[in-house]
Structure formats: structure tokens, C-alpha cells
Chain A
């Protein structure tokens, strides 16, 4: 009897020990929920150096006191993994204090519905720093998310950057219409120069061209109509836009191997004079103003808005604007120390970003901004003149449609996917989303 009891006890003990070990392993760690953050953590994609570098500079300078109370801790991930990580962490209530709002506003909206995203309008008003934000940035964030709930570390406009010297050498003026743009591309190709540098590996710089054409052809509500169900991407005018960009690829205007070219290579192609034009956002100013990267010289870089399309409803002063890589703040990790950090950033980031990186942010610049490089000044002037800002192609898409759009952009311009099939694939994902 004694033996049986002992055996049973051992069995129960073994089972309990195993279960507790397993349960403790399943429990996870590092949860920062409940406002007990141990660090001012930031999860961000590894290709965005500007935000990381500026926050690090602030942590050593103006925000050193906040950093001492709650140290800045940055984790970087490849761009494609950020959304996945954020979703998984959100499911465990373990979001970092700050996290890149991801490839699609839809995810941030979903997280917001689940109570995971801090209401920054209320928070920054409570902290008394709301007036330190650029009104244009507030409007852009509200357009995207329905409310102000991301930190606008960058405020960008997008358009076509061009090599002034190459244009002058080939007796070309800045194209004002799409036909002139195509004619210029043909002339460059004939001269052995790649007309457009493009990051086909990530796809989005190509789909931006599709939306550029769409906005010029159908006006600034072109993609809102798709989001509202009033139009479909498979409608003839939408397919025509995709076909126009596919035709650029068919003519060889993106050079060879566009699907294998990544962001850095495309930037390098333009900044070493191998490509005449480069569709990109003003976040690239950091590279343009960097003499070690820009061998054509910052003076030789010009900016043009996406040109008008003959008979189109849109105009060239309607410029795509965005808040670059928006960063959301976890509602569950917010406390006074996080508030101190947000307050310090909101007051000081604008001037520091201009001075250190030569890039424009969504925060008002107070104090010493240094002497602005001419290109940065051009961007600031363009922003101030812009009356209607528009969004990018995938801005109102769900995650699946966004991925389908970006992964199929290279096949669209290499001719392995027709314009109609490209739009159909995205529309199917929108219908099922």
C-alpha cells in the first residue's frame, strides 16, 4: 500500500513539474502591458535609418534626462516582418512602447479598435505639446487613420527626382505632361542611359507610378472611389493606368533586372548618374544631401511632380504626401515616463531632424535648424504650396491586397503579368478582405 502511494505521488509530482515547466515556457516574457515599460522601446524596419538615428541623437542630447529615466531601446526588422511581429506581440499584449505602424493603415486601425494604440491627440493635448505639430501632418494622419494616432517622424512628398545635368546634356526640359515624360525616357534609353531607377524588389516604387497616373487621369478621389466600392480596379480607366506603367517596362525604361533591384541599388543608380529619373519620397533627401553617396551633386538633383495626363481630371499640384514611416505608441505601456519622452520628442524632433538629417518631419521646427540644404528648402517650399495632397496606391487597401500589389509590380513591368490580371488580382483580395 505504502509502495502504491509513493508511486502515485511520484507520478503526480512528475506531471505537475512537467506541466509547470511547459506552462511557464508558454507564458512568454517581457510583457510591458499596464504601463510598466522598462525601456522606451521602438520596433522599426531596418531600412529606415533616419528615425533611429534622430531618436538616438535626442537620447544623448536634448532628451538625455528622459533617456536616463527610461532608456531608448531600438529593435530593427526587415520591412516585411514588422507587421507580422506587431500582430503577434499585440495578441500577447506585449507590444513595444513604439512600433512602426506597418505597411498598411488597416493594421493600425485594427489594433486601435482592440485598444492597443494610444490616442495621441488626447495624450499630446494633455501634455501641452499639441501645437508643436504641423497642421498638414495632422491632416494627413487623420486622412489615413481616421484619427491622430501615430507620431509623424517624417513628413514627405513624393514625385520624380531627376538629374538636371543629364536633362540639359540631352536638351530636354522638365516634362510637364506624361507624353513628354515618355518621350524623355525614350531619348535617354536611346542614349544608353537607364531612364528610371526603380526598386522592383519591394514593388511599391512601381505601384506609386500606377497611382500617380490614376490620380492625374481620374482626379484625387480615384482610389477613394475604389475603397468606397463606387469603382473597381478592373474598370477600364484603372486598367489603363496599370497598362501605361507596364508599357514603360515593356519599352525597357526601368533597365534590366528591375525585379532584382532593391532600394539601395536603385538609389545608387540615380545618385551615380546611371539613371536619369527616380520616383521617390522626400525621405531620400538624407541620401541626396550626403556627398559620399551622391556623386552627381545635390545641385544636379531636380524635383518634378508626376506630370499631367492628356484629358485627365487631376493636376500636377496635387502631390502625394505621407508621414513617411508613421510610428504608433502602445496604449498599454503608456505611463508618465513615456509621456515625458513623447513631450520631449514633440518639442525638439522637428528642428533636430532638419539640422541633423536634412529631412522634414511632422513636428514644427523650433530653435536652431542649421542652414537648410537647397533641396530640403525646395521640398519645404513645395509642401507649403501644396493645397491638395493625395495618397499612395495601397494606402486604402487591406494587408493582403497591399502585398499582392507590391509583389506583382515587377511581373507587371516585366510583361509576365498583364495589366488586367494585375488589377484583377488586387481587386479579388479587396473583395475578399
Chain B
């Protein structure tokens, strides 16, 4: 084995095709997209060199700023919701339901496998006011909490979007974190209990630090997934009302493919890449701290 791995030609033969495929489907399009940022135009009319014009436009574009703000707002709200609900579910599975949690886990995981469009249509009906009052509004009305058209305001649409995406994905994070929690040795938990650590103290000083690695993975998964949200927004609100729930991805898609401005669309895509990279680096930097040392 060592002789094979030491042979450069063998390595080239074994890795070459995969590297070539990776280069052609990942690196070349990325480079190509980066190249487009310096051009104006589209595939129908052709391209003209525009220098840093697209970056300057991005700097002054209020729609891009609002899309970036919405992207951050959505990513933070949904990530907190997903990971927190997932963590609470995992605690429920491990410490309350114990071995009988399989059925609950399956039920809570079920929305994860549903198509986003189907879920979005369901939530549209749930929160609708026209042509009929949806179930959520009917329930709120029953409690004396009257609410108007959720989808007519930026705030209402945002709330429905966050509730939908947290509901849809918390089962995934529940199972992911559950896998981390069951790895905590029973002896450790038992000795902590003997030392008097129960309830919140047990979670705060024993469970939370020991599940930190899986929590970190969940946060990285969640933040990167939510920063690139596209399908659920498109299906639920189509970016509206107006452009109030339009994230960067949808703005980029529309700019490139609806408005036929590939150069500026690529510039927005580059911004999104930088944002994802930056946020991930910040999370990893933060995670270097040893949580077990307070």
C-alpha cells in the first residue's frame, strides 16, 4: 500500500480523473462565475467588460442590502430555532422518553423528508385569510388573538417562514444531536448525579460541554444551510410581499435569470460565498474555546 501511495504516477492515475471532474464541475464554474463579475450583459446580447462596475453597483444597491439583511436575520432566527428545538428534542429522547423514543423520533423526523413545496403549500393554507381562513388563524381567533393577513406584511411573512423551516428541520437536528448525546458515557452521568448534579445543573455542567462537538457541527450545518435558503422562500412567499422576504440567493437568481444580468448576478453570488465563508470561519474560531473550562 505504501509503495502505491508513494508512487506519483499511481497517484496521478488514481486521483487524476476525480481531480479533473472536480476541477471541471466545481473550480472552473467558480472561476467562470468570478470572471462574469467583471462583465455586463447576458448570453443573448453578449458581454461587455465593465471592470469593477458590478461591485460598485452592489455597494450602492439598496435591494442587495435589504436581501443581505434579510439573509442574516433569517439565518440567525432559523438556526437558533433549529438547533435549540433539536437540542430540546434530543434531551427529551435521551432523558425522558429513553428507549421508547423511536416512534416520536420517527414522527418528528417525518417533515424532513417531505418536499419543501408541499410543506410551503400546507403552511400557505394554514396561515391563509383568503379565500378561507386557515387553521392557524381559526385557532388564534378561538383564543381571542385576531391576526390579519400574515402574508401581507414583512413581519408576518417572516414569522410564518421561520416557523415553517424550524418545524420542517428540527427533527433532523434532533436526531443529529441525539446521536451525540447517546455517546456520553452513562458512568459520567451517574457520577455527576451522585455528586448532586441533577436537572439544569447536570445539563449545564456535564451534558452541554460533552455534546459541544455535535452542537458545533449542527450550528455549522444550520447556518450554512439557512444562509443559502432558496426553495422554502420561493415556495412560501416568493420573496414577498414586495421584496421583503427576498434573500440573497433569490435576488441573485432573479438578477441573472429573470433580468438577464449575468454579471451582476455573479457578483451577488460572490457576496454570498464570502458571507458563508466568513460566518463559518467565525464559528470555527469561536469553537476553539474549550467549553469544559467554563
Contacts and interface: CB of A to CB of B under 8 A. Distances in A.
B10 A7 contact: yes
B241 interface: yes
A203 B294 CA distance: 55
The number of chain A residues touching the other chain, given as a range, is: 35 or more
A400 B64 CA distance: 14
Contacts of A17: 17
Contacts of B257: 84, 87-88
A261 B130 contact: yes
A257 interface: yes
Contact of A403 (B25, B44, B131, B254): B254
A269 interface: yes
A87 B260 contact: yes
B131 A414 contact: no
Nearest to B148: A256
A10 interface: yes
A257 B128 CA distance: 8
Interface in B97-137: 124, 128-131
Contacts of A403: 254, 258-259
A260 B42 contact: no
Contacts of A259: 149, 151-152, 240-241
Given A265-B131, A403-B258, A407-B240, A18 B25 contact: no
Contact of B16 (A14, A22, A80, A417): A14
Interface in A405-427: 407-408, 410-411, 414, 416-417, 425
Contacts of B254: 403
Nearest to A91: B43
Contacts of B148: 256
A310 interface: no
B20 A15 contact: yes
Nearest to A84: B257
B130 A260 contact: yes
Contacts of B154: 416
B130 A90 contact: no
Contact of B44 (A10, A19, A91): A91
Interface residues of B, number: 37
Nearest to A19: B20
A168 B52 CA distance: 64
B12 interface: yes
A400 B130 CA distance: 28
Contacts of B10: 7
Contact of B130 (A91, A116, A265): A265
Interface in A266-286: 268-269
A90 B43 contact: yes
A114 B44 contact: yes
A4 interface: yes
Interface string B17-45: 10011001100000000000000001111
A410 B152 contact: yes
Contacts of A10: 13
Interface string A385-404: 00000000000001110011
A19 B244 CA distance: 44
B242 A84 contact: no
Given A11-B13, A407-B240, A411-B242, A399 B260 contact: yes
B151 A260 contact: yes
B86 interface: no
A253 to B, nearest CB: 14
A17 B21 CA distance: 11
A153 B260 CA distance: 27
B188 interface: no
Contacts of B124: 260
8 contacts: A110-B44, A257-B129, A260-B149, A404-B243, A408-B241, A411-B241, A416-B153, A416-B154
3 cross-chain pairs, A with B, having the tightest CB-CB distances, nearest first:
A257-B130, A91-B43, A257-B129
Interface of B: 9-10, 12-13, 16-17, 20-21, 24-25, 42-45, 124, 128-131, 148-149, 151-154, 238-244, 254, 257-260
Interface of A: 4, 7-8, 10-11, 14-15, 17-19, 22, 80, 83-84, 87-88, 90-92, 107, 110-111, 113-114, 116, 255-261, 265, 268-269, 398-400, 403-404, 407-408, 410-411, 414, 416-417, 425
Given A403-B258, A416-B153, A425-B242, 15 more contacts: A14-B13, A80-B238, A87-B43, A88-B257, A90-B43, A107-B260, A114-B44, A261-B131, A265-B130, A399-B259, A403-B254, A410-B242, A411-B240, A414-B152, A417-B242
